Amino acid sequence: MVEYGEEPEFKISDYNSAFFINQRLHNLWLDANNHKRSGAYEAWNADLDAVWCELAGDVPIIDEKNLKKAKEKGKEIEDIEGDYKKIKLKLKECTPIINWNQRTTFDKTPKKQIEMKTKQYQLLTEKEIFLRRLQNKQGKGTKYRDSLDDYMDN
C-alpha cells in the first residue's frame, strides 16, 4: 500500500484484476440500488460498506508521519477515510437501522419512526454519493471525455 505523498512503485502484474474489481463494484451498486428501492436500509448500508472495502485499498493512509511530510511540503491532506467515518458516525447516531416496511402506511407509522427513517435515508444517500464520487476520483467509475482531446487528435 502506498503511503500519502509517496510515489507508487511501478509494477506490472501478470494478472490484472481491474475488470473483476469493476464487475464486483457494478454488482454491489445493483444490489445497493435494489435494496434502497425496496426499503431494505440495513442491506443497503451493508452494500455500501462492501463498496467501501473495494475502494479503500487505494485510499492513502493518513498517519502522523504522513501528516508531518505534508505539512513540511505545505500541502493539505484529504482525509478520505476520516470523511467516510464521519458519515458512518452520523448514521450510528440514528440506529438501529429500520427497514421500511412497504405494507405499513404513513398513517399507522409513529411520527418519530418516520423521522428516523427519513434521517437514515438521507445519511445512506450521502454515504452512497460519497462512495460514487470516490469511485470516479479513483478512475473506477464514470469518466467524461474532454472535448479538447477530440480537438488534439485531429
Contact indicator for 77, 66 with CB cutoff of 8 Å: yes
**36: pLDDT strictly greater than 90:** yes
Give mean pLDDT, residues 99-113: 70
Does the pLDDT value for residue 73 go beyond 90?
Answer: no
3-state secondary structure of 135: helix
Q: What percentage of the chain carries pLDDT values higher than 70?
A: 80
For residue 111, what pLDDT is reported?
84
- pLDDT for 99: 82
Cβ neighbours of residue 56 under 8 Å, at least 6 residues apart? 81
Is the pTM for the entire model greater than 0.85?
A: no
Residue where the block lists cell 487528435: 153
pLDDT at 118 over 60: yes
pLDDT of residue 142: 79
Are 66 and 4 spatial neighbours (Cβ–Cβ below 8 Å)? yes
Least confident of 24-28, 36-40, 69-73: 69-73
For residues 17 and 12, give the distance between their C-alpha atoms in angstroms, rounded to a whole number: 12
> Given this model, what pLDDT does residue 12 score?
65
Tell me: pLDDT of 120 over 80. Answer: yes
Torsion on CA atoms 35, 81, 53, 60, rounded to nearest 10: 150
pLDDT at 141: 83
Query: Residue 134 has what pLDDT?
Result: 94
DSSP state of 62: -
How large is the average pLDDT for residues 93-115?
A: 75
Residue range 29-50: mean pLDDT, rounded: 96
